[in-house]
Amino acid sequence: MSLQPGDALTSHNFGLQIDGVMVEYLAEVSGLTLEQDVITYQQNSAQGRPEVSLLPGVQKNGQCTVVRGMTQSASFTQWINDSIAGRMATARKNASIIMMDFEDNPVKRYNLRNAWCSKIDTSTVKAGEAAALTETVTIVFEELVIE
């Protein structure tokens, strides 16, 4: 690994795998969060004084947003269509957001279990515009595991 003590990963070197297959032409990933409920537990001590403890609760599901160039990627388009059509037997997939070091070695993985697309938003098309077309896809997931 090319990271030395004190080095940090850079934000431009990342990838997205869906069921072990790397997605091509990925521009941005945002909004990836992990959250769980917090349980407040109150009790009295042996001396009769109130004590408050915070305990971990249930992990919540989550979502993230992926921006990608509008390409002819049949597998990604099929995943979106299966999700939107409610074909959950094929739409639910395991995905990983992978952070890489300067030598393109995977360093950190965010594994999304049972992920599927809940929304797609295409960029604006405009006559005379010289810009790449993109798709912004919202991916929801049932569990996030960080490796």
Burial class (CB within 10 angstroms; exposed 0-12, middle 13-18, buried 19+) of 115: buried
Mean pLDDT for all residues in the chain: 89
Evaluate whether 91 touches 118 at the Cβ level (below 8 Å).
no
pLDDT mean over 112-130: 93
- 49-106 per-position pLDDT tens digit: 999 999 999 999 999 999 988 887 788 889 999 999 999 999 999 999 999 888 888 8
Predicted TM-score (pTM) of this structure? 0.83
* DSSP code of residue 11: T
Q: Where are the domains of the chain?
A: 14-35+61-146
Question: Taking the mean position of all CA atoms in its chain, how far away is CA 20?
Answer: 15
pLDDT at 70: 85
Fold of 14-35+61-146: Pnp Oxidase; Chain A (2.30.110)
Beta bridge partners of 83: none
**Nearest Cα residue to 107 out of 7, 3, 30:** 3
